[in-house]
């Protein structure tokens, strides 16, 4: 399975970066092939200072080795080895009318001292973080997610949509990071889902990403915006940074397994603001967004 999924994420990385370059029209991805001393490595692809995308990365990694003691405690196991692979992406647009997007699809194996697999699972998802809320964009993104889920189970979309709302939540702020999408983890073999079934589901979601996001970018990238709206975007980006550094389990795992720091922190936007006790104006478009972030909506 790990060879099969590695081949998939390598191909998907190329597909996504080719499409994003075409949409941007100016900037191209820089490639950074790296190795991890303890085992494995990855390919980081970063785009910066484009006409559409101010910063973004589409990264794949395949890492292995001894599971650190802190992670042993987290998973409730004794000495073990692991293999983890995945594709992780974040795209931060220039125009505040275009939402930031995040996606991740991953596979994990854990082994005993004899090398036998003692656990294995898939995880991932995709979520949208707008700065100005266009309801039709939110509906489109969620409908695309639902369509991918429904091909495997009618229970998946409501279940993983709710988990996304719960996970990407800044509880110290009392608001969501964005308007959600899908989040699933620890997708293991069960009575009704074999590992190959989970592979088909996760790759279905991965294949839906460009259909979910790029029509929104194309529709909004030429809209006019003011400096005040740009400032709002940078303030909201600050909340994005807060979530990634305070709450995100993927960031934590990377830091605790001696992951490549540049690739881990690739998700952080280049221009951010933290204003003291900043409050949006009453009845403004900015306040409209905050109200939705505090009270998640069922978009489809």
Active-site residue set: 102
The set of residues, in sequence order, having a beta carbon less than 8 Å from that of 281 and lying 6+ positions away, is: 287
Rounded Cα distance between 222 and 132, Å, is: 14
Secondary structure element (H or E) that encloses residue 140, with its range: helix 135-150
Rounded Cα distance between 92 and 48, Å, is: 9
Instruction: Give how far the C-alpha of residue 157 lies from the chain's centroid of Cα atoms, to the nearest Å.
Output: 17
- Please answer whether residues 96 and 130 qualify as being in contact, where contact means their C-beta atoms are separated by less than 8 angstroms: no
Residues linked to residue 121 through DSSP beta bridges, in sequence order: 108
Distances (CA, A) of 100 to 40, 97, 233, 241: 29, 10, 10, 12
The set of residues, in sequence order, having a beta carbon less than 8 Å from that of 103 and lying 6+ positions away, is: 87, 88, 89, 124, 125, 126, 127, 206, 209
Residues linked to residue 35 through DSSP beta bridges, in sequence order: 41
| Rg, Å, the chain Cα set | 19
């Amino acid at each position: 399975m790990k060879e099969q999924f590695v081949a998939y994420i390598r191909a998907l990385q190329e597909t996504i970066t080719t499409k994003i370059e075409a949409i941007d029209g100016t900037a191209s991805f820089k490639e950074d092939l790296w190795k991890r001393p303890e085992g494995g490595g990855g390919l980081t692809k970063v785009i910066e200072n484009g006409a559409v995308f101010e910063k973004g990365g589409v990264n794949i990694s395949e890492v292995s080795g001894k599971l650190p003691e802190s992670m042993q405690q987290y998973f409730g196991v004794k000495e073990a080895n692991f293999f983890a692979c995945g594709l992780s992406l974040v795209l931060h647009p220039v125009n505040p009318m275009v939402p930031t997007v995040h996606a991740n699809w991953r596979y994990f194996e854990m082994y005993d001292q004899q090398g036998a697999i003692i656990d294995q699972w898939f995880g991932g998802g995709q979520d949208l973080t707008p700065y100005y809320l266009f309801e039709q964009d939110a509906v489109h993104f969620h409908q695309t997610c639902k369509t991918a889920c429904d091909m495997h189970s009618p229970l998946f979309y409501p279940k993983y949509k709710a988990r996304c709302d719960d996970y990407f939540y800044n509880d110290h702020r009392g608001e969501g990071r964005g308007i959600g999408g899908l989040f699933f983890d620890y997708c293991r073999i069960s009575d009704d889902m074999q590992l190959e079934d989970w592979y088909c589901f996760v790759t279905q979601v991965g294949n839906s990403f460009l259909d979910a996001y790029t029509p929104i970018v194309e529709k909004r990238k030429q809209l006019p915006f003011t400096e005040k709206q740009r400032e709002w975007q940078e303030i909201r980006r600050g909340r994005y940074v807060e979530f990634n550094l305070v709450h995100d389990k993927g960031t934590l795992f990377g830091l605790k397994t001696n992951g490549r720091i540049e690739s881990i922190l690739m998700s952080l936007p280049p221009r951010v603001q933290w204003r003291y006790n900043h409050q949006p104006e009453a009845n403004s478009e900015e306040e409209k967004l905050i109200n939705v972030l505090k009270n998640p909506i069922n978009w489809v």
